[in-house]
């Protein structure tokens, strides 16, 4: 499968809610996914379990994606741009985003998300995901 086809397939599975297929067919076991921002889903996810947890939350957040375009660089990295859509309390959000996908041994292995309007992304995810109370967050 061509590198761009891996990313096409990931979007197809994500939009259909087939997250198990993403895990089993497309992701390297040691995948790293970096999500910028200052919100509950931002940071570096390492390993397929953390990345799948992130994608599950992203799916549950109600983000949909369209207007996706793909290209492959000379080193095999896939560059993709898309428009994310979400709605919260009647407010519509648009998230212009670009993502790079490193491929190793026919699997997606290194992902970096680049967001165009980080403040909107942060505001949306803070509204969708609340932190646990402090006592629960710092319990040992």
Residue 47 within any structural domain of the chain: yes
Q: Where are the beta strands (DSSP E) in 63-130?
A: 64-72, 78-88, 91-104, 107-115
Residue 29 within any structural domain of the chain: yes
Which structural domain, as residue segments, surrounds residue 32? 3-129
CATH of the domain at 29: 3.10.450.50
Residue 65 within any structural domain of the chain: yes
Report how many domains make up the chain: 1
Residue 136 within any structural domain of the chain: no
> pLDDT tens for residues 64-75?
888 999 999 999
Measure Cα distances from 97 to 68, 89, 110 in Å. 9, 22, 17
Residue with tokens 């509204």: 127
Dihedral pair phi/psi, residue 76, rounded to 5°: 95, -10
Residue 140 within any structural domain of the chain: no
The reported pTM is 0.89
User: CB of 47 within 8 A of CB of 30?
Assistant: yes
Residue 134 within any structural domain of the chain: no
**pLDDT block averages, 10 residues each, the chain of length 140:** 92 88 96 96 96 90 89 96 94 96 97 96 93 82
């Amino acid at each position: 499968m061509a590198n761009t086809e891996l990313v096409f397939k990931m979007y197809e599975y994500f939009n259909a809610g087939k997250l198990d297929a993403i895990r089993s067919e497309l992701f390297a076991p040691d995948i790293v996914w970096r999500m910028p921002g200052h919100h509950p889903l931002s940071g570096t996810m390492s390993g397929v379990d953390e990345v799948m947890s992130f994608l599950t939350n992203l799916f549950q957040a109600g983000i949909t994606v369209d207007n996706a375009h793909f290209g492959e660089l000379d080193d095999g990295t896939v560059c993709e741009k898309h428009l994310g859509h979400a709605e919260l309390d009647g407010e519509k959000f648009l998230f212009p985003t670009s993502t790079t996908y490193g491929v190793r041994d026919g699997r997606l292995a290194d992902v970096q998300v680049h967001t165009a309007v980080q403040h909107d992304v942060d505001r949306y995810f803070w509204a969708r995901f609340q932190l646990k109370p402090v006592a629960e967050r710092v319990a040992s």
